[in-house]
A = this chain, B = another copy of it.
């Protein structure tokens, strides 16, 4: 079966396709994207019972072993990556082995990082099963795990060989996970495409109702935006930082709450509102953003009482460069900028108790 849509992430010798379509899992042959015969499928306790068996025909002919990790952000640790490496060593995987990440962002980040470190880098495929992973974390080669001092503090840039997005898997996704994914969908519109933001205002109910055509359109547009940004700036020397819009606040929220208390997308939603407020854009723009997030069922403010703690948490954020916190700011809906100075006073106001 052919994917209904293929996008390319253009990175010279590291270029790879994103295959998007309905029912691809099990129907799409992944053999052309494997480095060799050995294959370790990494999944988690939530996703494995639902989709692991369905994936099998896509890997026909490969020598497949499976590793099921505990589910959840709090398990995204160096220990989890080490467990994947142990599994690869245990199957005597060589340099031509391939890691296949079947799951959400946590599984993709852990499995991708393990692939980056095993024998100084083996191939990996991403098969994202959450909306958030499909529109964001599976594309672009950022891999990593959390450290008590900060989210994704340990990691590597390691591009996958291919990303397989089956929109059907969203059918079993928990409502809260779907909603959290919409935060990253909205983020792509906010930073790069005002028309797409308008489309989302019209179609947010269709997305919540899991209308396949609406989901496919949103996923495709997000992947296009992300692929274009990543191709222009693979290692986040500049432009790629746009994708972090709302994330400086979001990481701080997650850090203060403890990883996993809020879903990443929920923290991003609140973070995007804070970043819009910090940007000093027109109040009607902030109101439009709040309204869309609210209709999607997302939070538009950080947790009660957390604001004073966010400043300290942000100082440990990866994007903090030598003490100066660099925010991605909004010019208007559909256009974000990196590197514009922010108002200290405005930040203090936003983070006041």
Contacts and interface: CB of A to CB of B under 8 A. Distances in A.
A120 B316 contact: no
A117 interface: yes
Given A78-B82, A120-B144, A144-B120, A153 B89 contact: yes
A260 to B, nearest CB: 19
Best-buried of A92, A118, A148, A154 by chain B (most CB within 10 Å): A154
Nearest to A320: B94
Nearest to A145: B117
B150 A96 contact: no
Given A37-B322, A94-B321, A321-B94, A119 B155 contact: yes
Main SS class of interface, A: mixed
Contacts of A85: 147, 153-154
Contacts of A95: 318-319, 321
Contact of A118 (B36, B82, B153, B320): B153
Interface in A106-149: 116-121, 142, 144, 147-149
A25 interface: no
A94 B323 contact: yes
Nearest to A114: B154
A232 to B, nearest CB: 16
B117 A156 contact: yes
Nearest to A317: B94
Contacts of A51: none
A150 B78 CA distance: 19
B117 A154 contact: yes
A117 B201 CA distance: 40
Interface string A83-115: 001100110101110000000000000000000
A184 interface: no
B318 A89 contact: no
A210 interface: no
A90 B149 contact: yes
Contacts of A149: 86, 89-90
Given A117-B156, A156-B120, A89 B150 contact: yes
Given A89-B147, A92-B316, A150-B89, A322 B119 contact: no
A153 B37 contact: no
A148 B323 CA distance: 39
A156 B121 contact: yes
Q: What are the 4 closest A-B residue pairs judged by CB atoms, nearest first?
A: A89-B149, A120-B155, A119-B318, A96-B322
17 contacts: A86-B147, A86-B149, A89-B147, A89-B149, A92-B316, A94-B321, A95-B319, A117-B155, A118-B153, A119-B153, A119-B318, A120-B142, A120-B144, A120-B152, A120-B156, A121-B157, A121-B235
Given A89-B148, A95-B321, A119-B153, 10 more contacts: A78-B82, A85-B153, A89-B150, A94-B322, A94-B323, A95-B318, A116-B156, A117-B154, A120-B318, A121-B235
